[in-house]
Amino acid sequence: MMLNFSNSVGDPMVEIGRLGLIQFCGKDRFDSFEELKQFIEKLFNIYVFKTSGRIGQIFSSNSKFTSQSLVRPFPTDKKKKEARLKFSLELYSNLVKESYSGYCLSCGKKDDLCSVSKTIFPLTTGNSNTNFTSNFSNRFFMCKTCMTSLFFAPTNMQKVAGRMGFLISNNKEINEFWSENNIKEFNANIVKNMDSLVDSKINIFENFIYSIIEELQEEELFGDITFYLISNIDIDSNIEMVHILEKNMRFIHRVAPNFFKTKLTTTVKDEWNNLIYRYSSKDKKGKFRTRNESIKVLDTKLNIMVDHKTKKEKIKFEEDVIEKNNYKSIVKYFNPLISNFIQNRSLLGIFKRSHISWHLTEIYLKRIVEMREERLVALKKVADNLQGLNKNDDKEFIRKVVFPIERTKSQSELRTKLREFMRKLLVISDKPLFTAEEMVLQILPNGESWHETKDILLIALYEKLTFDEEIEEEFNKLIPNEGDDNE
């Protein structure tokens, strides 16, 4: 009987297992279960011998594989492990022998199914665990390839934020890149006698996603990706999902082709990365950020290093990143810019507060916001025309023109303000600030965000102005760091 793992399936857990299996075995087709058996043995051997007590745990404590009653009669640890391995392989062989009729819950294949319960699979616990598609009841029918795939799921995931993260893309090469790296690390961990799950060492889901995008775009790999974050405990077992679109990856490729590896780049050459650095390093009060990391302790029973149950140490950004020139660790710190970017929230507020260049803003508006070209041109023109009111005195101009725009609180207030400046400008120049048509179609068009218009105008204005300390202080009072920190 031929076993074919080359077709994608709709269920993310089965799919990530299928992709892991292909990497782990180095092939996607097998002539028989006999041929597949050597890989199953290797895999189960890892699971049975290398499980730790907590997050890296592949099988839950109420899984049939880890059940204490099973191994209690055996006198030594070695014998207990042997018994566990023998039992798990028998369990698998028995599943393979079953032949129920019906449809596979995961891929829809007809007949020759096995009847399985959730708790035999890795990374699941009780009945309320939602790691599988919601319609997976406790007992269900599955085809044998999907059932086998599920056993490989842990090889293709990473420990993130105390849970398990993985990705699935519409670009096959991205999936391959992900599984290749995971299996490499997974195998290396076995040699080092460590937790079997690959550890991303990142405790913030958004930052984890950002660092993956960074890696992928360096490899020139682009596509739409769904990132999943799951847990193998019943409590808080909801699945978190984030969709990243190809345009987001291409944006990063355009503005930040090289992440900080060994040193910081200059603002002129690399505005985006400097902004990332700025928001990772300090909080809104201007203080260096800190993070908590689990302390590793030796589990004497299993003779491996595991995370301490409760103790954590506080790590400071200056010591961790700056003094050690360890710029890759930047993504371990909370960053509102990364968080907003990954969650697809507007970055204009951050851009404005940070006096970002029009160049970067324009790339962002075109690629991410997908703003109409005519609107972009019209808004820039208004900002440039407003400079006509600047009598070579930035300070006065900021106070009399820029800050009043900043203070507007509604679309009608903003429109009134702009009309007021239009009248003032007509006194000294015959060039109108904007035409009536531009106002209606481009500047404040119906159905588009007036706040966006305001931010864009201000970004363009701020770029050309020099701030002294006094103005900077007034600016900070006017624009609170809303939505900056929510660690």
Residue 122, phi then psi, degrees to nearest 5: -65, 155
Q: Which residues contact 44 (CB under 8 A, 6 or more apart)?
A: 85, 88, 89, 92, 151
Q: How far is the CB of 103 from Zn ion (least distance, A)?
A: 9
Least gap, CB of 144 to Zn ion (angstroms): 8
CB of 108 to Zn ion, least distance (A): 7
Is there a contact between 327 and 211 (Cβ–Cβ < 8 Å)?
no
**Cβ-based nearer residue to Zn ion, 18 or 253:** 18
- Residue 383's closest CA among 443, 423, 472, 467? 443
> From the CB of 11, what's the least distance to Zn ion, in Å?
9
Please calculate the CA angle 292-297-301 and round it to the nearest 5 degrees.
145
In angstroms, give the least distance from the CB of 4 to Zn ion. 11
> How distant is the alpha carbon of residue 137 from its chain centre?
29
The secondary element (H helix, E strand) that includes residue 383 is helix 373-386
For Zn ion, the closer CB: 106 or 335: 106
Q: Give the helix ranges, DSSP H, for 121-170.
A: 144-152
The conformational region for residue 406 under phi > 0 = left, psi -120 to 50 = alpha, else beta, is alpha
In terms of CB distance, is 103 or 467 closer to Zn ion? Answer: 103
- Angle of helix 411-428 versus helix 373-386 axis, rounded to 10: 50
Q: By the 8 A CB rule, do 415 and 444 touch?
A: yes
CA distances in angstroms from 279 to 239, 286, 337, 452, 484, listed in the order given: 28, 10, 7, 22, 9
What is the closest distance, in whole angstroms, from the C-beta atom of residue 9 to Zn ion in the complex?
6
HSE (side-chain half, CA atoms, 13 Å) at 199: 18
Least CB distance from residue 30 to Zn ion, whole Å?
Answer: 15
- Count Cα atoms within 13 angstroms, Cβ side, for 98: 19
Minimal distance in Å, beta carbon 28 to Zn ion? 15
CB 26 within 8 A of CB 187: no
Query: How many CA atoms lie within 13 Å of 102's alpha carbon, on the beta-carbon side?
Result: 14
Q: For Zn ion, which is the closer residue by CB, 104 or 157?
A: 104
Minimum distance from residue 104 beta carbon to Zn ion (Å):
3
Max Cα separation, the chain?
98
Q: Which is nearer to Zn ion, 109 or 291 (CB)?
A: 109
Smallest separation (angstroms) from Zn ion to the CB of 146 = 3
Q: What CA dihedral angle connects 38, 44, 46 and 48, to 10 degrees? A: -150
In the complex with Zn ion, the residue whose CB is nearer, 143 or 401, is: 143
Closest CA to 451 of 420, 398, 409, 483: 409
Element (H, E) at 470: helix 469-478
Interacting residues toward Zn ion by CB under 5 A: 104, 106-107, 109, 143, 146
User: Smallest distance, Å, CB 67 to Zn ion?
Assistant: 27
142 vs 213 by CB, closer to Zn ion: 142
Nearer to Zn ion, 107 or 174 (CB): 107
E strands, 408-482, where?
none
Other CB atoms within a 10 A radius of the CB of residue 34 amount to 9
231/157 Cα distance (integer angstroms): 11
Residue 143 vs 183, nearer CB to Zn ion: 143
Closest contact distance (angstroms) between CB of 120 and Zn ion is 16
Q: Quick one: tokens of 171? A: 């670009």
Name the residue nearer to Zn ion (CB basis): 15 or 214.
15
Measured from the CB atom, the residue of 146 and 252 that comes closer to Zn ion is 146
9 vs 439 by CB, closer to Zn ion: 9
CB nearer to Zn ion: give 146 or 204: 146
Could you give the 3-state DSSP secondary structure of residue 126? coil
CB of 13 to Zn ion, least distance (A): 12
Q: Which stretch of DSSP H or E encloses residue 29? A: strand 29-30
